[in-house]
Chain A
Amino acid sequence: MRTLALMLIAAGLIAGCDEKPQTVGDYRGKTDAKPYEANFGGDKAKWESTLRARNQNQNEYKRVP
């Protein structure tokens, strides 16, 4: 009985740490396509590697040793 009460208290305390979604409702607009569908033929890995390479263009320590 005591264990059950402790478990209930613990569950109640943990519930306070829960993060609730901030949105009032769900998105009600049109569905958007994935960014890799139009120009990368749905190849997500290829799109990601392109972006990763592009990202490193911002790092001059990689561009100019």
Chain B
Amino acid sequence: MARMKFLCDAERCIECNGCVTACKNEHEVPWGIQRRRVVTLGDGLPGEKSVSVACMHCSDAPCMAVCPTDCFYRTDEGVVLHDKDQCIGCGYCFYACPFGAPQFPQAGNFGIRGKMDKCTFCAGGPEQDGSAEENQKYGRNRLAEGKLPLCAEMCSTKALLAGDADVISEIFRERALHRGKGGELWGWQQAYGKDGAPAPAKQEAKK
């Protein structure tokens, strides 16, 4: 079966935060929890880019590796989920995650962390699919309904793609061929450089 992934086309993202709103509303995510957010780099500068970030459902998930209670699991579709009943809210996963995906609700008046919450790829959690308990703990299980994550389905410019990695990368490839640019995934060169070249220098704002 598929390996479920997100892919954000930075050439298209207009920083409307529609994905964030869709996620918040669909799962009734409480205040202070950001399962998804839009990050803008070079904000206000010519050529600024925005990218929508959430849990990337890593194939070798570092959160999974560091969890002391082993509350993470990966589904057959490659979605990384966790059991909130097993979570102790230690925060190790937050430190391990390179995307800042794990979120912790404030559970008390003294800054005590609650159980971790993160993007579920709209796949719920280890409760009965579609049950009220699953909805309350993890949000709606759209995948079990044969639907894709709402953030991607709501995306106005279709910058955010979600689904089988092979299918969405093919959609992205076709798109890049049509527009004739932006075929490279934004972020890769900045992160790793091209042919060993250093990442481009930061542009200074004109005063």
Chain A residues proximal to chain B, CB less than 8 Å: 22-40, 44, 47-48, 50-52, 54-61
Contacts and interface: CB of A to CB of B under 8 A. Distances in A.
A50 B146 contact: yes
Contacts of B1: 44, 48
A43 B172 CA distance: 29
23 contacts: A23-B72, A24-B65, A24-B70, A26-B70, A27-B71, A27-B73, A30-B85, A32-B126, A33-B128, A34-B76, A35-B75, A35-B141, A38-B141, A40-B146, A47-B146, A50-B146, A51-B2, A51-B143, A54-B153, A56-B167, A58-B161, A59-B171, A59-B175
Interface residues of B, number: 50
B175 A29 contact: no
Given A29-B126, A32-B126, A55 B62 contact: no
Interface centre among A36, A52, A57, A59 (most CB of B within 10 A): A59
Interface of B: 1-2, 60-62, 64-73, 75-77, 81-83, 85-86, 123, 125-130, 141, 143-148, 152-153, 158, 161-164, 167-168, 171, 174-175, 178
A58 B83 contact: no
Contacts, number: 111
B60 A55 contact: no
Contact of B163 (A30, A34, A54): A54
A58 B158 contact: yes
Contacts of A44: 1
Contact of B168 (A36, A39, A40, A55): A55
Contacts of A59: 171, 174-175
A26 B65 CA distance: 10
Contacts of A29: 70-71, 73, 82-83, 85-86, 126
A28 B70 contact: yes
A55 to B, nearest CB: 4
Nearest to B127: A30
A17 to B, nearest CB: 15
Contacts of B144: 35-39
Give the top 5 A-B pairs by smallest Cβ distance, nearest first.
A29-B83, A38-B129, A50-B146, A22-B65, A30-B126
Contacts of A35: 75, 77, 123, 129, 141, 143-144
Nearest to A47: B146
Nearest to B77: A35
Contacts of B168: 55, 58
A58 B158 CA distance: 6
